[in-house]
A and B are shown apart, each in its own frame.
Chain A
Amino acid sequence: MTKYIKKTMVAALMLFIILIALTPFIWVFMASFKTNAEILSGTIGLPKVLHVQNYVTAFKLAPLVTFYKNSIIVGIVATLLNLIVCSMAAYVVVRCDFKAKGLVTLIFSIGLIVPAAALLQPLYTTLQASHLYNTLTGLILVYTAIGMPTTFYVMVSYIRTIPFTLEEAAYIDGCGFARTFFTIVLPITRPAFATAGVIQFLLAWNEFQFALTLTGETSKRTLPIALYYFKSAFASDYGAMFAATVVVITPSILIFILLQKQIISGLAAGSVKG
């Protein structure tokens, strides 16, 4: 008897999770193929005909192509830069002896302590003073910095597991410090790069607050802003709004389904120090 009660409770819990975590996606996906009239009448089921027109309208109403392009540039460059900067520092922290090690670790962890919202006005001022306001470069630098803690911890814990003998052999053969790092160490750290890289890419891809406040023109905006754009400017064309939502979230979901392992292990590694 208690077994059945337990089973029912577990089933109810799973159903609840599906309701809050999956249903919104399915519903918006279906609604993105409905006509405006169909949406407004509040139908719940499948669309009568596939109204693909919504997607065309979405791309017409909001400069989604520009937003997409910007998001891809910002995402890729911020990820590469973040990986290089953090892996270099992580390598030195793991392999070399120097006094300021604790300070360096603190510097790379600061992003964990400072909520992004606290930096809203100061970063706006800093970027304006250095003429990087309303530029993709500004956004790239901000995202590179925000993602430092996770990447740094992932890289430190991975480099620790690499046996030193390989590098030693390289040094004995007369290989310099930088060359050893770039040609011997970096290729071995590829798995850690994948882990930290996906997390960093998603951070840059999804970030909203700084994308909104540190850029001013449509030509410099990234994808998350597209939805804000729709919400305020074209609030009556719901079909197009849903289509835009689908267009914005699909890449993140695809990345997650393809790289689930890396993302989860990266989040676990990056959070432990939090």
Chain B
Amino acid sequence: MTRNKKWIAIFLLPGVALFAYIFLASLLVLITTSFTDWTIAGKLSFIGIKNYVDLFTADKGYLTALKNTIVWIFLQSTIHVLFGTMVALILAKKHWYSNAMRTVFFIPNIISSAALGMLFLCILNPQFGLINNLIKKINGDFNVNWFMDPKTAFLSVTLTWLPYAGLVTILVISEMSSISDEIIEAAKVDGATPLQADLYIVLPLMRNIIGTSTVLAATSMLQKLDIIMMTTSGGPGVRTMNMPMYLYQTVFSNNNFGLANAQGVLLILLGVLSLVIIRKLYRMDDED
């Protein structure tokens, strides 16, 4: 067979060109202009790390966005992963409802998250939403504006992300199918209850996929612009502001491109940091 250099180059070219156009060019723009003063009207001028300093010292909104994003990363990579894994352990067994429930839990993961945001906006609507009208049947005076009340907004937005635990469930179940039945049978013969088998045999074997799910869950919190835009737009005030939403506003409302790109750089760094920490915690770099 001809290991022809020409053909190797030709086959790689489209992908590399696309990478250069979409990612490389953007990353260069992102990093270089994050050190400049660049607004829609003005010319670019180099200002060193002023954008970064401003974000951390002069910008209360950004600090809230950063704090919220970190809190959500934490919640998503602990509670949601735990929830998804627990459901996986139940649905991996052959109950009459297992297949149906897997489908149900995964459906919110497959639709546009803008649409999911819309669904939550509707069922939590204070006037005609399902939740309030159900509660009103018991307590007639009940009236909470879930997404707009500063007391409930953060919790409500957090709730909209719970269905995404379905991805964890699906990934863990698909990994569990690779465990041979013999191991589980052997444990049963030795007198292990199903719960013991899950805890001491299945879960340790799932370490890598749970780690991967945690990485996905954590980094997904750096992308959540759509649901926020559909539900609260970061409000009330900046109560539910996250980093992507704040970045969006910096670009399209304030037209401060340099400042926005400094936020973009920090967003990437936070992603890499989460990735490194989670991989360490799950010892994912160890060979099994």
Contacts and interface: CB of A to CB of B under 8 A. Distances in A.
B19 A245 contact: no
Contacts of B257: 121, 125
Chain A: interface residue count, which band? 35 or more
B277 to A, nearest CB: 15
B245 to A, nearest CB: 9
Given A21-B166, A120-B264, A256-B110, A85 B18 contact: yes
B15 A224 contact: no
Contact of A118 (B113, B216, B264): B264
Nearest to B231: A231
Q: Which 4 A-B pairs have the closest CB atoms?
A: A117-B244, A122-B26, A118-B264, A206-B112
Contacts of B3: 96-97
Contact of B247 (A120, A123, A248, A264): A120
Interface of B: 1-5, 7-8, 10-12, 14-16, 18-19, 21-23, 25-27, 29-30, 33, 86-87, 90, 97, 101, 103-108, 110-123, 127-130, 132-134, 136, 159, 162-163, 166-167, 170-171, 174-175, 209, 212-213, 215-216, 219, 222-223, 225-226, 229-230, 243-244, 247-248, 251-252, 257, 260-261, 264-265, 267-268, 271-272, 275
Interface of A: 10, 13-14, 17-18, 20-25, 27-28, 31, 39-44, 84-86, 88-89, 91-92, 96-98, 104, 107-108, 110-111, 113-126, 130, 141-142, 144-146, 148, 152, 167-168, 171, 177-178, 181, 202, 205-209, 212-213, 223-225, 227-228, 231, 238, 241-242, 245, 248-249, 252-253, 255-257, 260, 263-265, 267-268, 271-272, 274
Contacts of B19: 107-108, 110, 145, 148
Contact of B15 (A22, A41, A85, A274): A85
A9 to B, nearest CB: 10
A249 B115 CA distance: 7
Given A97-B3, A122-B26, A13 B86 contact: yes
Nearest to B260: A121
B114 A208 contact: yes
A264 B101 CA distance: 14
